Structure 1
Amino acid sequence: MTADHKPFDTGSADLADTMVVERFYDRELTGRERAIKLLKQSLAALARLVGLALLLVPFQLMGVVTLDLPLSMFDRLTPEDGLAASRFMSQGEGYLMMVLLAVLLMTRRWGSQLTGRVIMLSWVLTIVFLTMLIVDLAPELDSEDFPSARFVGSLIGSWFVGQLVAVTVYDLLRGGAWWRAPFFGSALGFAVQAAIYFPGAFAGTGAPWGWWMAVSLFLTTLISAVFLLFYGPLRRLIRPVPGLGG
């Protein structure tokens, strides 16, 4: 074999430079299949919305129905009888406090957008059921058994806005220290509720509503801090919405 003679070239160099790519494509959905898929997704979203709203409705109904029952568990925290929490805080408001804390847990799992819709729907259903209850009991009730429209409007409106503020602040503060979003979300939600409720329900009546509001802010800030003791362990059980902490 001479120096100029080369072995048979199989073209391996060319083959090495050649890439064979095999692509797989999903079958394109037909218009009917896309419509069915969209319908299923919409029904699942609606079912989730209604289901979450129905979880809140019983507590909100109890909150309105038990407005005439004083909540005395915080009375020892106030120095004077005139500022005792039972003078302005009812068992019904205790239920509504629990609802505000519960919507923060919903926000952790589902985000503020869905939770905001849940809050709106839950209050609509609460008012519907409350109206049905009043119509059913009206023959057995006297006029003095009904609270004033001003009081009920201030109460429901304040808790509705307070819940929306709480979930909005919670979502805005997520991603930092785990305690920051639930603490400031609940504390500011309670603060906005108090700022709407006390002047709306008591201004011009001669009641010391300014002092009551100050005591309420103190108590609800304390409740927001205590809530962290429960929120911490619940973080392990309630997965956050993808991409967000808290």
Structure 2
Amino acid sequence: MKIAGTPVSLSRLAIPVIGMMVVVAASNVLVQYPVEHFGLNEILTWGAFTYPLAFLVNDLTNRRFGPAVARQVVYVGFALAVALSIGLATPRIALASGTAFLFGQLLDIGVFNRLRRLSWWHAPLAGSVFGSALDTILFFSLAFAGDPDMSFPVTYALTGITVPLWMGLAFFDFLVKLACALVALIPYGALMGWLKPWGSALPQRPAA
């Protein structure tokens, strides 16, 4: 089959679609569990460590098949992840996650595609950073704002700043996503030689 003129087999798209679905569904479950070690229960949830994998899957798909195919993978992964998450998490978390996932991943695709002809690391890093920022803002505000269990005030000793718990979790969640975006450059770089870039037959500067 062809998507926006790009030939691609459904079997090849199954891997990124399943990857997206599993990562998002797992993150929706894990975001409900704070990290209890080292006093991090008011700072981090386990979902912060799994969700960034969605950006790696998205960027590799974009590199190999181009933005049109990557968007289709996001749409299908979004629908499946929301359907699966409703059974694994609360409906509010599932819908908040689906909304954040959709807009965050689409922003990642747009940023990646604009920067893909720069040095290899620019596109995946910038796409993940901007996509993660939007995803974090949308998810935590939609999932937890106004929830009494997630809105009690927390004061952070080093700064004296007091914010609702969900805002603090969102901030530190984003910091973890930034760190994961840097770490994800390792597998992305390792797989670059195996994944022939979309549009590589056209004369152009080295693609990301």
TM-score normalised to structure 1 length: 0.63
Tell me how far apart the structure 1 counterparts of residues 57 and 11 of structure 2 sit (CA, whole Å): 16
Contact 1:166 1:186 in 2 (8 A): yes
- Cα deviation, residue 46, structure 1: 8.3
Structure 2 spans left out of the alignment, 5+ residues: 153-164
**RMSD over aligned Cα, in angstroms?**
3.1
**Using CA pairs below 8 Å that are at least 6 residues apart, which structure has the higher relative contact order?**
2
User: Is the aligned partner of 1:56 residue 2:17?
Assistant: yes
- Cα deviation, residue 163, structure 1: 1.2
Task: Provide, for residues 55-87 of structure 1, a one-character-per-residue CA deviation record: whole Å limited to 9, x for no partner.
Answer: 4235524642564444749x66xxx5343313x
1:156 to 81, 90, 98: 98
Contact 1:119 1:160 in 2 (8 A): yes
Residues 71, 178 of structure 1: alpha-carbon distance in 2 compared, 3 angstrom cutoff: farther
Q: Who wins on radius of gyration, i.e. which is larger?
A: 1
2:161 corresponding residue in structure 1: none
Structure 2 matches for 1:81-92, cutoff 5 A?
81-86=40-45, 89-90=46-47
2:70 corresponding residue in structure 1: 115
2:189 corresponding residue in structure 1: 232
Residues 232, 213 of structure 1: alpha-carbon distance in 2 compared, 3 angstrom cutoff: same
User: Is the aligned partner of 1:165 residue 2:93?
Assistant: no
- Cα deviation, residue 240, structure 1: 0.8
Task: Provide, for residues 127-163 of structure 1, a one-character-per-residue CA deviation record: whole Å limited to 9, x for no partner.
Answer: 45x39x95xxxxxxxxxxx743222210121112211
Structure 2 matches for 1:114-133, cutoff 5 A?
114-127=69-82, 130=84
- Cα deviation, residue 210, structure 1: 1.4
Residues 219, 153 of structure 1: alpha-carbon distance in 2 compared, 3 angstrom cutoff: same
Give the letter aligned to residue 102 of structure 1.
Answer: V
Structure 2 matches for 1:66-215, cutoff 5 A?
67-69=28-30, 70=33, 72=35, 80-86=39-45, 89-90=46-47, 94-127=49-82, 130=84, 134=87, 147-205=89-147, 206-207=151-152, 208-215=165-172
Contact 1:49 1:118 in 2 (8 A): no
Structure 1 spans left out of the alignment, 5+ residues: 1-39, 135-145
Tell me how far apart the structure 1 counterparts of residues 27 and 124 of structure 2 sit (CA, whole Å): 27
Tell me how far apart the structure 1 counterparts of residues 61 and 27 of structure 2 sit (CA, whole Å): 25
- Cα deviation, residue 41, structure 1: 5.8
Contact 2:107 2:127 in 1 (8 A): yes
TM-score normalised to structure 2 length: 0.74
Equivalent residues, number: 185
The structure richer in strand per residue is 2
- Cα deviation, residue 99, structure 1: 2.3
Contact 1:57 1:126 in 2 (8 A): no
State the SS of the aligned residue for 1:115.
helix
Residues 62, 105 of structure 1: alpha-carbon distance in 2 compared, 3 angstrom cutoff: closer
Identical columns (%): 21
Tell me how far apart the structure 2 counterparts of residues 122 and 52 of structure 1 sit (CA, whole Å): 10
Contact 1:108 1:238 in 2 (8 A): yes
